[in-house]
Homo-oligomer: A and B are copies of this chain.
Amino acid sequence: MAIFFRKTTINQSVLRLLDQVPGPVSETALRQQLGAAGVMAHKTTLYRQLEKLVEAGKVEQSRFADGVTRYERKKAHHHHIICRSCQRIEDIEVGAHLQTEERRIARRAGFHSVSHALEFYGICPNCTSPLSA
């Protein structure tokens, strides 16, 4: 049985915005962007709506190394690489190694239902090239 959603302005705007935005956004950023588009929403509302969307499997949630949780439309399993300089976030896909690794770990340590959280960090091309100087 699917989770029940009522059709409301905020509700709709959230999903639409997440569809447009490339990459994960924090609740704060989401609220600002909604505000800019004329949709005022309280942070409590957004957190609750996002939670529902996550439960419904429409949105994916991940916590980054800066301690902030960000949300994005669910797509094929992938990971992110975050620029340590400009904070830009890009999608990347990682080979099948990790699945193998997960199974190996599960077997060896007696754990089950194993999943993982993986993010890469680096310096992106823009921040590498000599903009100044």
A residues with CB within 8 A of B: 63, 65, 67, 69, 81, 83-84, 90, 92, 94-95, 97-98, 101-102, 105-106, 108-125, 128
Contact = CB atoms under 8 A, between A and B. Distances in A.
B112 A128 contact: yes
Contacts of A105: 81, 92, 120, 122
A113 B120 contact: no
A116 B120 CA distance: 4
Contact of A116 (B97, B112, B119, B125): B119
Given A92-B109, A114-B120, 18 more contacts: A63-B63, A63-B67, A65-B117, A67-B67, A81-B109, A83-B111, A90-B109, A92-B105, A95-B97, A105-B122, A110-B125, A111-B122, A111-B124, A113-B122, A115-B122, A116-B119, A117-B118, A117-B121
